[in-house]
Structure formats: structure tokens, C-alpha cells
Amino acid sequence: MSRQTRRSREERARARRRRLRRGRSLLQALVGSALALPGMGGGARADSPLERPSSDYSFRFYAEEPLPQGKAAAGNPTRERYEILMHQFHLESPATERSDVALDIVHETMTGASPWFVRNQGGTPAQVMSGATIQEERTDALVSGNYYFDRAKLGASAGISTENDYFSWNLGSSGEMSFNDKNTTLSAGVGFSDDTIEPTEAALFGRIEKARKNGYSVFAGLSQVIGRKSVTQTSLSYKLNDGYLSDPYKLAEVGGANVPDNRPRERHQLAWLTRYRRHYESVAASLHLDYRYYFDDWQVTSHTLEAAWYQSLFGVARLIPSFRYYSQSQAEFYSPFYASAPADGFVSSDYRLSPYGAIAYGVKAEARLEDWPRHWDWTLSAGWERYAADGDLALKRVSVESPGLVSFDLFSVQLKGSF
Amino acid sequence: MRPPERFRFRAMGSPCELRLYGPPGRVARAAESALREVRRLEAKYSRFRDDSLTAAIHASAGTGSGIEVDPETASLLDYAAAAWRESGGRFDITSGVLRRAWDWKSGRLPAAGQIAALLPLIGFDKLRWERPRLWLPRAGMELDFGGFVKEYAADRAAGCCREAGVARGLVDLGGDLAAIGPHPDGSAWRVGVRDPRRPERALAQVELRSGAIASSGDYERGMWVDGVRYSHILDPRTGWPARGPAAVSVVAPHCLVAGTATTVAMLHPPAAARRFLRGLGLPHLCVLPDGSVTGSLSAHRDSGSPPARSPAA
Amino acid sequence: MSAAQLRLFAAILAAAAGLGCAGVKPWERDLLARPDMAWEPDGREATARSHVFFSKEASLEGGGAGGGGCGCN
């Protein structure tokens, strides 16, 4: 291509972009002024009901890394950990002019071994896994709906969850209200759950036969539009857990002998989450930043920082790299093993209550197909995330990390259709 | 599916129609409310009535004291200002005085100097508009709301119907259409856009579920002089007719915006009009003087069925 | 919560609640309405990840209430 042809092509492209910018600015100016007229901007709702039904199916494969040889106790039956195949089915649809409904069904198949107890091997904690391979299935169902007012929304949900050894049902309700030209939104909600656990092989292993726990939660949040390109939200969530909160499948070594995992029958939890979303027009991408501060009355405190970059490509695809940093302190009564029984009797060697940090990173790709065959839109996505927990990653120095810390890979694919 | 209730009437110099779905009582109340609103706007902005706001504005021209306007008129003036600015002066509500030079029924061009004498009275930038006060500095200056109040009335009429609880229907004010909502079965209103050179034929069928469509064409009014066609759409910058497309239709969320877009497009030379409409990003139809049809709606071209309604001239 | 943390929380609340000072007009919400600007563009992924992290860590997910537990170990 000659220099001249190239230049005139560039000039024409520039002129085209100028025209598009001018055209859009004209349109924006006209629509903006039109909306200021009485009765013209009315009817626009803060959030509106879904306009069309859509459905999606996701498949995820979760695979934990085997326990490192150096962390396993002598005589440990298997170093294999968990593998989960997860199916998620979702259906949502407008119901009336002011409402919509949704149905979520999740089915999981879990196999593998999980940490059982930690042995004191010459002063160093070593993990013993459960022997027999677990094979469990979990099915969840949730129905939810929303009702929309001019500047507000009300939602409710009800769900159940069943597993071989477990049954739970839950209820939730939430609402939100917008102010300030819909730039500020206040939201709040409550939730209740009732769980019953009947551990398998209870008699054989001397486990409790049946136990219950209840969860009562409440949250309140405030979101604010900062400008055309950014928005932020901060929210507080509180949950009261009441009942049997121990893990019936875990033991703790106390003075050389194994005793059942025993945690307090009450736990108060508070999480403070702040989120920020910002769009970068020139590169057609959006930044997601989330920070969560958590603490509870078991003395666990944690920090979570998540970042994701939503990069649009060619108008029909997206590439989303993401990163997550997590750090938690230990529960007050946690210890890999105990020399003697603590005064209050609470013991747990569960790595999930130990101090550690974790880094996760991943990437997801999405592609969209619109208007095929007629007015149907499709999105296909695939992603992968890798997570690794380590005592050295924690914010505060960890003197003895749990031998049971986990690393995993999570692979996902999803197909979504809007009709 | 039961057909909608139809209410025909005449307003703003054109045949109008409301097509509404709903229980008879509610539909009747909605139609009454919409009709009242259209008549209110007609009376308020009419240039034919001595008691209209427009007459009061004209009476204040050249007096230096200006006139205070109500919030609705103030917002309309803000709209007209934005449109004037963004359209490079093509949309100009002070251009009504050109009516004095152009007599479409006479078949004669304006006399020498007539246009030149009127140009000093034209130009939105010559007004002093400081909300809520408006000054027309020179006697003889006029504001012509006719160019956009009909489309605004279509939007307001649709709004009245919605407020009365009618969620499905169509407002048609002389070819400026505003959809209240689709048919009860969810299907869209099918609107025929008239072919400018063959008025009994529809150029395209446009589907409207919500939003509005406005059209402009050079065939109903205007005149032929010595074999040359002079469109009735006058360019405020020159005082002479536009030499642009033969017809333009634009779909937009508001009829007001659709109407402004068609007017501005008609005041571009044909090729520039095509580019302007493409740059707007709204669904549109553009018929050029050579008969060619372009625009995102031209894919919905129809062959031969009569138009549902005549587009506004 | 320490005094410093409380001060930070108050500052964020104040920033987030910049009532009247920040905000956009209705017609300026085009970018904010993009799916990639939503709090959770992919609901299923959010649910799945939340479930995974809740099962493997000690914290409460936050951001909402309701939803069941599970016998996850």
C-alpha cells in the first residue's frame, strides 16, 4: 500500500471516529435535555425486572493437591485429598411487569480423603488423613424472586441442601432503596438457616449421632456512583451461629490421645466488604477491586484482597485475569496438638482454623454469540484458578503452620443462553 | 387477541390516533388524559392563538423587558438550545419568520431581498436565555415551537397513558409515533414508513415495542418552480430550502429526540446526511433524491403493502 | 476493631456516601450499566467460589445474608 493510500485511509478512519463521537455527543445532549422535561424521565426504575428469560449450566472440576510427603504422618493411609465435580443449573425469568424469579440447582459429587487429625511427631505436627475414600453427593435447590418499585426492590429466597449425612434449609429476604437520582443505594437483608447433621459411621467411630445448628444473619450496605466510570460499595454482614459447630469427622490429639473436635456452641461473625468497580474506556476494560475485613469471637481475623481485570476483546469476547490474597489468624482454641486438655475443653486441629495466608490466581475467557438463531444470545466461558495456602504467606508471622494446608485447582466451563 | 380501542381526533394541524389496550374504563380515562395533554400543549404553544404563550413571547420581542417562562417552557428552551448547539445551528426555533418569505401555494420564489431582510431576526444565539427569563432583542423575532412540540406531545401523551395504567398502546400524532408498549402478546407495532415518491406505498415496516419514530419528507409540502423542487424544510443559516435527502425516519427512545434527529438530517446534503445518521447510532431510514434507500432500517424493506400511517411532512 | 480501623471505616463510609457531591445524571449511566461493571458479572461463579472459600477458610463471605450452610469438610 502506498504511503498516500495509507494516509488517506487513516484520515478517513479518523474522520469516521470524529463523526461517531460528534453523533454520540449530539445524541447524549438531546436525550439528556429531553429527560429533564416533565414526565419524560419518569418510569425508569432503579433496577428493573429481567426483560427476558435466561438459563445457564456450569460444570466445575475441583482438584486438591495431594498432601506433601513431608507433612504426612508415619502410617498415614493416603495422601490423596478432595476432588469435586460440580454442576450448576440456573434459570431466571421475568414473572410480572414488576417482578422476576429464579431457580438454582447445584449437584456435587465429592470423592477423596480429608484431614482427620494431626499427630505430634517428635514435636512436629504431621497430618493423618481419613482412610477410606469418601464418596458423597450434595444437592442444593434455591428459589428466589424480586419485586420492583420505582426506586426500590424487595427480594426473597428459600432453599434446601441435602447430602448423605446432612440436611439444611434456609430463608432469606433483602431490599434496596435508591436516592439521589439513583446514585446512592441502601441495601439490607436478613437470613436464617437450619442445619441437621447425622454423621456417617457414627457408632463405629464414636461420633455424635445427630446434631443441629442455626444461623442468623443480617447485612446492610451502601453503594455510591462516583462518576460515569466508577462505583463503590461498602457493606457489613453479621452472622450468629448457634448449635453444634464442631466437625464430627475430625479429632484432636490431646496428651497423646485422640479426642473429638470440640468447638464452642456459639460463634459471632462480622465481615466488612468494600468493593470498587472502574471502567477504562480507552482500553475497553474494567477493574474490580474487593477488600474484606473479617473477625469473629473465636479470635479469627482475616483480610481478603481480590482484583480482577475484565478485558473486552473485539466486542464479542472477554479475557479476565484475577488475583486473590487471603490471610487469616488462628482461632483462639486452635492448636495442631495439645499437651493437655484446655480448661474450657475446646480443641480443634482443623487447618481451617489455623493461621495462614493464601494466594490464588486465575484467568477466564468468555465469548458471546448474539442474535442466533433469532433474538437468542449465547455466552460460552472457560476458566481456571489455582489456590495455594502457606503459613509464610500470612500477614503476621506464623511460627508453626498446620500440616493440612491445602492447594487446589478449579476448572470451570459455562454455557449461558438468553431467550 | 382483542383489537385495541381506537380514538381518532385532529390536533396540531394533523390527523391523530390513539390505540390503547386495557379494560374499557381505564382506556377511556387514559385517552381522555392524553387528549387533554395534547390540547393543552397545542393551546399553549400555538402561533395562531392570541392567548398562547407563543403570542406572549412574540409580544415581548424588542421590548427589552423579556418574559419569564414556566419550568416546562424553560426545559423546552434548554432542549432547543442543546439541539441548536449540537446540530451546528441547523435546528433553530427562531427560523419561523422565514414563513413570511416563502409562500408554498404561490409557486413563486421569494422576492429579492426578502430573505436578507429576515436573516437578522434568525439565530438562536441572538436570543438571551437566562433561565427562567427570555429576551427576544429585536421586534419581529419569533419562536416557533411547532418544530418539536408535536413530538414532545406524542411523548407526553404516551406518558399520560402509562400514568393512567395503560401499559400497551400506540400514540400517533400526524405520523409522529410513540409506543406506550407492545401488543398484549408481546409483539411489536408494525409501522409503515411511506415512500416519498410513491405515497401509496410503504418503504419499510418498522417494529416498535417501546420508543418512538419520527419522519420527515420533502414531498407533501414544498413546491416546484421552473422545474426545480423546493423543499418546505428551510435551512435557518441561509433562509433557503434544504437540498438534502428526500425522506428520513429515525427511531429513538423519545419522539422528541427522533424528530430533532430527522430535522437535522434533512438539513444535511444527501451524502453527509447518511454519514450523520450513521454516526448517531440510532435505527434510521434515509431516502436520497436519487431514490436510493439506506440506513439500518432499510433491511426491513417491504414490497408493496400500503403504509399504516402517513409520516409527517 | 482498633481505633485506626474504625477511622478507616468511617472515612470509606463518608467517601461512599458522598451524597449529592458525587453521582451522574440518568443519561450518563451507560458505562455503569455494562455487565463487566456489575458487582457480580457471573452469579454462578460467585456462588461457586464463595462456597469453595467458605469451605476451605474460616471467614464469612459477606456481601449478603441468607443462603444455607453445608457439611463441608
Q: What angle do CA A233, A234, A236 make, to 5 degrees?
A: 145
Pull the grid cell for residue A74: 508415619
Per-residue pLDDT tens digits for B92-110 = 999 999 989 998 888 889 9
| Residues of each domain in chain B carrying CATH 1.10.3980.10 | 53-144
Domain that residue A374 falls in: 138-418
Pull the grid cell for residue A213: 445448628
Per-residue pLDDT tens digits for C11-66 = 666 655 554 456 776 656 667 877 899 999 999 999 999 999 999 998 887 655 55
Chain A segment 82-121 residues within 8 A of C by beta carbon are: 86, 88, 90, 104, 106, 114
Same domain, A244 and A360: yes
Cα separation values, B58 from A344, B51, B90, B102, B145, Å: 91, 11, 22, 20, 12
pLDDT score at A334? 97
Cell 413571547 belongs to B57
In a domain, A267, yes or no: yes
pLDDT band at residue B185, thresholds of 50, 70 and 90? confident
Chain C segment 18-47 residues within 8 A of A by beta carbon are: 18-20, 22-32, 34, 36-39, 41-45, 47
In a domain, A389, yes or no: yes
| Cross-chain CB nearest to A88 (options C39, C48, C73) | C48
Q: Measured in whole angstroms, how far is the alpha carbon of residue A79 from the centre of its chain?
A: 27
Contact A386, A411 (CB under 8 A): no
Residues of B in contact with A42 (CB under 8 A): 159
In a domain, A1, yes or no: yes
| Cross-chain CB nearest to C68 (options A114, A170, A222) | A170
Contact B134, B57 (CB under 8 A): yes
Q: B228 or B173: which carries more pLDDT confidence?
A: B173
User: Are A37 and B75 inside 8 Å of each other by CB?
Assistant: yes
pLDDT score at C57? 94
Chain A segment 9-28 residues within 8 A of C by beta carbon are: 28
In angstroms, what separates the C-alpha of A45 from chain B's closest C-alpha?
A: 14
Low-confidence ranges of chain A (pLDDT < 50): 42-46
Top residue of A12, A40, A150, A371 to mutate, by most chain B CBs within 10 Å, is: A40
Distance CA A398, CA B37 (A): 74
Distance CA B163, CA A49 (A): 19
Report which secondary-structure segment, H or E, holds C11: helix C3-16
User: Are A30 and B86 inside 8 Å of each other by CB?
Assistant: yes
Top residue of A24, A37, A375 to mutate, by most chain B CBs within 10 Å, is: A37
> Does residue B91 carry a pLDDT above 90?
yes
The CATH architecture annotation of domain B188-313 reads: Roll (3.10)
| Residues of each domain in chain B carrying CATH 3.10.520.10 | 188-313
Over the Cα atoms of chain A, what is R_g? Answer: 26
Contact A258, A252 (CB under 8 A): yes
Residues of A in contact with B281 (CB under 8 A): 20, 23-24, 27
Contact B152, B162 (CB under 8 A): no
Same domain, A142 and A38: no
Q: What is the DSSP letter of C32?
A: T
Domain B53-144, CATH 1.10.3980.10 — does that match? Answer: yes
User: Are C43 and A249 inside 8 Å of each other by CB?
Assistant: no
Mean pLDDT, residues B178-183 taken together = 90
Encode chain A in three state secondary structure. CCHHHHHHHHHHHHHHHHHHHHHHHHHHHHHHHHHCCCCCCCCCCCCCCCCCCEEEEEEEEEEECCCCHHHECCCCCCCCCCEEEEEEEEEEEEEECCEEEEEEEEEEEEEECCEEEEEEECCEEEEEECCCCEEEEEEEEEEEEEEECCCEEEEEEEEEEEECCEEEEEEEEEEEEEECCCCEEEEEEEEEEEEEECCCCHHHHCCCCCEEEEEEEEEEEEEEEEECCEEEEEEEEEEEEEECCCCCCCEEEECCEEEECECCCEEEEEEEEEEEEEEEHHHCEEEEEEEEEEEECCCCEEEEEEEEEEEEECCCEEEEEEEEEEEECCCCCECCCECCCCCCCCEECCHHHCCEEEEEEEEEEEEEECCCCCCCEEEEEEEEEEEEEEHHHCCCCCCCCCCCCCEEEEEEEEEEEEC
Residues of C in contact with A171 (CB under 8 A): 66
In angstroms, what separates the C-alpha of A22 from chain B's closest C-alpha?
A: 7
Number of domains observed in the structure of chain A:
2
pLDDT score at B307? 41
Chains that touch C (3 or more CB pairs under 8 A): A
Chain A segment 281-340 residues within 8 A of C by beta carbon are: 281, 285-286, 292-296, 298, 300, 302, 304, 310, 312, 318, 326, 328, 331
Distance CA A146, CA A50 (A): 10
The rounded percent of chain B whose pLDDT value lies above 90 is 52
Reduced to 3 states (helix: H, G, I; strand: E, B; else coil), residue C61 is coil
Q: How far apart are the first and last CA of chain B?
A: 33
> Does residue B222 carry a pLDDT above 90?
no
In a domain, A64, yes or no: no
Q: Does A47 touch chain C (CB under 8 A)?
A: no
What does pTM read for this prediction?
0.63
In a domain, A112, yes or no: no
Q: Is A177 left (phi over 0), alpha (psi -120 to 50) or beta?
A: beta
Distance CA B13, CA B46 (A): 10
Cα separation values, A104 from A371, B229, C44, Å: 25, 65, 9
pLDDT score at A43? 37
Encode A252-276 in three state secondary structure. EEECCEEEECECCCEEEEEEEEEEE
Residues of A in contact with B163 (CB under 8 A): 39
Q: Measured in whole angstroms, how far is the alpha carbon of residue A41 from the centre of its chain?
A: 36
Q: Measured in whole angstroms, how far is the alpha carbon of residue C53 from the centre of its chain?
A: 15
Q: Is A384 buried (19+), middle (13-18) or exposed (0-12) by CB count in 10 A?
A: middle
How many residues are there in chain C?
A: 73
Reduced to 3 states (helix: H, G, I; strand: E, B; else coil), residue C13 is helix
In a domain, A68, yes or no: no
Top residue of A183, A348, A393 to mutate, by most chain C CBs within 10 Å, is: A183
Residues of A in contact with B156 (CB under 8 A): 39-40
**Highest averaged pLDDT of the listed ranges A279-283, B137-141, B280-284:** B137-141
Top residue of A18, A21, A30, A150 to mutate, by most chain B CBs within 10 Å, is: A30
Give the CATH number of the domain where residue A319 resides: 2.40.170.20
Distance CA C36, CA C42 (A): 9
pLDDT score at B312? 35
User: Are C1 and A281 inside 8 Å of each other by CB?
Assistant: no
Q: Give me the phi and psi of A303, to 5 degrees please.
A: -125, 135
Report which secondary-structure segment, H or E, holds C3: helix C3-16
Reduced to 3 states (helix: H, G, I; strand: E, B; else coil), residue C52 is helix
Distance CA C26, CA C5 (A): 35
Contact A102, A235 (CB under 8 A): no
